[in-house]
Structure 1
Amino acid sequence: MTSIGLYSIGETIGKGSYGKVKLGTHKLTGKQVAIKEISKEHAPMVAREIHLHRQLKHPNIVMLYEVIITESSIHVISEYCPHGELFDALTERGYCYSERDAVRWFVQLVDALKYCHSQDIVHRDLKLENILLDDNDNAKLCDFGFARHAESRQMLQTFCGSLAYSAPEVILRQKYTGPETDIWSLGVILYTLLAGGLPFDDDSEVVTQRKIVKGDYDIPSHFSPEVSDLITRMLKLNPSERVTIDQIAGHPWI
């Protein structure tokens, strides 16, 4: 077992865009942490992620504790969430969650996203794989690799994120404001938790893109009228017609 600073480095628990994530233990307190090791050659790419993540302190966002830099690597020390990804929890379950079960996680995510947007930070890669569960099964937003600081109504144009969760304006390479694209992705997350599958999905990426830009999806019959209304409002093709994060927080389903 190797060490970095005051941390012992243990087994690999995940893989990020630029390196492996290891389980670490603080030598003095015994507290477990996640340690992401990144080669210094990727420093320019991760500098913004670290800068933005450091600014965010919220109970439903993974806490970044410290950054340790050596000759060859950057070590990002952050909160360890032992129950893993929400994606894995859904996959292992093998079927969808009830609205009663899903609403707790959804409210936590809405609260975290509302906080990000209040800090003028847009995530741009919201998906089940980027939501971790702590030892009390609370949802924690992570991975700010595609996040951007975007002041009110500032237009973005980078195509990024994961296709199945991407908003139509991103796929169409149109300029967009970040909050509305986050709202779309949040709608996909809620749908997937309740349906057990993605709203826009196909073996062909081209077909998936076509479905997204046409808004071609079906609301399962077991969805309540309230949650159907909320998802429909989040998955509006026109970004200006989507509900805002404040409207979501005040929606009757919640």
Structure 2
Amino acid sequence: MQITISPSTECLIPSLRTYLDADLNDPPIFATNHSLVFRANSQRFRSIVAIKIINRKALPQHVAEKFLTRELDVTRKVRHPHLLKCLLINSSSPSKIVIVSEYCARGTLLQMILTEGNIKETPTGARLFRQLIEAVQYLHARGVIHRDIKLENIFLDANGDLKLGDFGFSRQFEKGQRSTSFCGTRPYSAPQVVTYQPYDGYAADWYSVGIVLYTMIVGNWPKEPKLNVALNFPPDSPTHACRRLIARLLDDDENRRAGFEECLYSEWLAPQSNWMFADANFAYTVLQHT
């Protein structure tokens, strides 16, 4: 389907070509009702980049004032190997905001699952899951909840490494504070969010992580969860250790739900011992054995 570019965006593109020293000749690679995303080779950043052009006028006023402001604030602040890296934000136009970020050549985790069916638990599944929980923990340690962790917001770079992105629903949040903004994406939302109860945003993020892990390994959505009813798994996958971790992440009780530490030292992830931490804050690499 052909994506229509508005006249105001057409007028903006030549200046972006000059500013970014980029070709920017191809049509958009993605579109929503309020934004377009382009892929371009930028000489300014000496790499291929993703250029997101947001049309403020297409957003409801409360969204532009509340959620967009938060998105830009979080996008500017965060820096982690497994968070999508923002290279530049330009809001000089009265109606447009331009966000330039690193380009992830392998698309989204959703695209990977649709192509491959599912992801093997080890080594790929464990590696990607470890990268995801490191990204989530980095945000949480800085008082930021994501609130829209899903396969479509998880990207894969040219090396196959994971990058969590899209901070449209993210916000700073105090520990112990309850959220009453019932945002996110339904299949990934914790029971408290779905039933419009004040919820712990940190615990809700970990519930979404559990849905991502289930879908990655199984290749299908879990059936609509019901209170006090055990999860359904295919007979041959995943392993029991992985099932137990998923069940802990999808615990109905947000006070009992697993978090970073339990994931890290779980019987499923802990045996993957070939991790070497390069920095006490967050950075690590996997040791390759030949």
- TM-score, with structure 1 as normaliser: 0.90
CA deviation after TM superposition for structure 1 residue 245, in Å: 1.4
Tell whether 2:93 aligns with 1:79.
Answer: no
The change in CA–CA distance for 1:10 and 1:154 in structure 2 (over 3 A counts) is farther
Q: Deviations over 1:207-252 (max 9, x none)?
A: x4xx355656302222211101101111111111111212111112
- Which residue is 1:243 aligned to? 258
Whole-Å Cα distance in 1 between the matches of residues 226 and 102 of structure 2? 34
Q: Deviations over 1:54-105 (max 9, x none)?
A: 1110000001111112243111111111110110111011x22111121110
CA deviation after TM superposition for structure 1 residue 46, in Å: 1.5
The change in CA–CA distance for 1:174 and 1:31 in structure 2 (over 3 A counts) is same
The change in CA–CA distance for 1:212 and 1:79 in structure 2 (over 3 A counts) is farther
The change in CA–CA distance for 1:249 and 1:27 in structure 2 (over 3 A counts) is same
1:66 to 79, 88, 106: 88
Q: Deviations over 1:108-143 (max 9, x none)?
A: 001000101001101111110000000100010000
Whole-Å Cα distance in 2 between the matches of residues 173 and 216 of structure 1? 23
- TM-score, with structure 2 as normaliser: 0.79
Identity, in percent, stands at 32
Tell whether 2:141 aligns with 1:118.
Answer: yes
- Which residue is 1:39 aligned to? 55
CA deviation after TM superposition for structure 1 residue 189, in Å: 0.5
CA deviation after TM superposition for structure 1 residue 39, in Å: 1.4
Whole-Å Cα distance in 2 between the matches of residues 229 and 220 of structure 1? 14
CA deviation after TM superposition for structure 1 residue 16, in Å: 4.7
- Which residue is 1:53 aligned to? 75
**AA partner of residue 234 (structure 2):** P
Q: Deviations over 1:173-216 (max 9, x none)?
A: 0001111101111001100011110113xxxxxxx4xx355656
1:97 to 119, 125, 130: 119
Structure 2 residue matching 1:2: 3-state secondary structure: helix
> Please, what is the CA RMSD of the aligned residues?
1.7
Unmatched 5+ stretches in structure 2: 1-12, 270-290
- Which residue is 1:203 aligned to? none
The change in CA–CA distance for 1:235 and 1:218 in structure 2 (over 3 A counts) is same
The question of whether the paired residues in 1 share the 8 Å contact of 2:113 and 2:216 is answered with yes
Structure-to-structure mapping, 1:6-45, within 5 angstroms: 6-8=20-22, 9-11=24-26, 12-16=28-32, 18-28=34-44, 30-41=46-57, 42=59, 43-44=64-65, 45=67
1:193 to 216, 221, 224: 216
- Which residue is 2:196 aligned to? 173
The question of whether the paired residues in 1 share the 8 Å contact of 2:37 and 2:51 is answered with yes
Unmatched 5+ stretches in structure 1: 201-207
Whole-Å Cα distance in 1 between the matches of residues 56 and 187 of structure 2? 31
Whole-Å Cα distance in 2 between the matches of residues 73 and 7 of structure 1? 19
Whole-Å Cα distance in 2 between the matches of residues 181 and 31 of structure 1? 35
2:243 to 215, 228, 242: 228
CA deviation after TM superposition for structure 1 residue 10, in Å: 3.7
Bigger relative contact order, structure 1 or 2, given CA contacts below 8 A and separation 6+?
1
**AA partner of residue 179 (structure 2):** L
